[in-house]
């Protein structure tokens, strides 16, 4: 079974600074999709960014970007110009193109320091 590992249970960043959250995954498949989800204290999980494994170009959504290293099976999330509203639990997730279940990491709790 696929596994998703987030080795940083907690991270903190100064407001306006940049932070990178790490995620590694284990799979034998070649076609898959990776996601970062954000879960603020109110508990509603929302999608931050997604990456298709067949695309070499790293996905970017405003202040959020990923560093996708397929050979290393690494998928890190960079948050630039951190804002107080970025404080949340961040989950990395994997899903194969064949449509099997989503696999989630254990999450990284991000604190933004004013």
Partner 1 sequence: KAGVTQTPRYLIKTRGQQVTLSCSPISGHRSVSWYQQTPGQGLQFLFEYFSETQRNKGNFPGRFSGRQFSNSRSEMNVSTLELGDSALYLCASSYAIGIYEQYFGPGTRLTVT
- Which chain residues interact with partner 1 by CB under 8 A? 33, 35, 37, 42-47, 50, 52, 91, 95, 97-107
Q: Which residue has the tokens 């994997």?
A: 94
Nearer to partner 1, 57 or 114 (CB): 57
3-state secondary structure of 73: coil
Q: How far is the CB of 80 from partner 1 (least distance, A)?
A: 22
Nearest CA to 2 among 73, 76, 77?
Answer: 73
Nearer to partner 1, 11 or 45 (CB): 45
Q: How far is the CB of 101 from partner 1 (least distance, A)?
A: 4
Nearer to partner 1, 18 or 33 (CB): 33
First to last CA, the chain: 41
Nearer to partner 1, 86 or 105 (CB): 105
Q: How far is the CB of 78 from partner 1 (least distance, A)?
A: 19
Helix/strand/coil percentages in the chain, nearest 5: 5, 55, 45
Task: Report DSSP letters for 80-104, one per residue.
Answer: -S--GGG-EEEEEEEEETT----EE
Q: How far is the CB of 34 from partner 1 (least distance, A)?
A: 11
């Amino acid at each position: 079974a696929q596994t998703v590992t987030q080795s940083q249970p907690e991270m903190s960043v100064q407001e306006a600074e940049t932070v990178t959250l790490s995620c590694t995954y284990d799979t034998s498949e070649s076609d898959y999709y990776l996601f970062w989800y954000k879960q603020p204290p109110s508990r509603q999980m929302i999608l931050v960014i997604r990456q298709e494994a067949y695309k070499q170009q790293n996905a970017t959504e405003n202040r959020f970007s990923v560093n996708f290293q397929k050979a290393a099976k690494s998928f890190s999330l960079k948050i630039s110009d951190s804002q107080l509203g970025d404080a949340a639990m961040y989950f990395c997730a994997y899903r194969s193109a064949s449509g099997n279940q989503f696999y989630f990491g254990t999450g990284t709790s991000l604190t933004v320091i004013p």
